[in-house]
Amino acid sequence: GNSVTQMEGPVTLSEEAFLTINCTYTATGYPSLFWYVQYPGEGLQLLLKATKADDKGSNKGFEATYRKETTSFHLEKGSVQVSDSAVYFCALRGGYSTLTFGKGTMLLVSP
C-alpha cells in the first residue's frame, strides 16, 4: 500500500536559516505529491504540489522537487521566518485513492 515517511521533529531553527524537511514515499504507479501546512489550532492548508517526476512545486518561498529515482519530495526554504512555525505534512495520492499523510514535522523558528 501507499505510505509516507517524514523526518521526525521538532525542527528548531533561527530566523533566516535554511530549511529542509525530508519526505520519502512508497507507492505503486505514479502518485501526485503534496505538502500541507497546519498552523496552531487550524486545519491543513495546501502549500504546494507536484504531479509528475521532476516537477517542482513552489509557494511562499517553499519548494519541493518530485524525485522518482529516490522516491523523495523534500521540502526546502532558503530563509525561514518566525511566521513559518507550524506542522508540515507530506502526502501522496495515487489514482483515485485517498490522500495518505506522513506523521507531520513540527517546525519552530526563533527570532
Among 25, 34, 62, 66, binds another protein (CB under 8 A): 34
Convert residues 39-78 into a mask of x (bound to another protein by CB under 8 A) and - (unbound): ---xxxxx--x-x---------------------------
Per the listing, cell 516537477 goes with 55
| 27 vs 80 by CB, closer to another protein | 27
Return phi, psi of residue 83, to 5°: -70, -10
Among positions 81-110, residues that touch another protein (CB under 8 A) are: 89, 91, 93-104
Min dist. Cβ of residue 99 to another protein (A): 6
Alpha helices for the chain (secondary structure H): none
Is residue 31 a contact residue for another protein (CB under 8 A)? yes
CA atoms within 13 A on the CB side of 31: 25
Return the H-helix or E-strand segment holding 90: strand 86-93
Return phi, psi of residue 86, to 5°: -175, 180
Min dist. Cβ of residue 37 to another protein (A): 11
Distance between CA atoms of residues 96 and 93, nearest Å? 8
Interacting residues with another protein (CB under 8 A) = 31-32, 34, 36, 42-46, 49, 51, 89, 91, 93-104
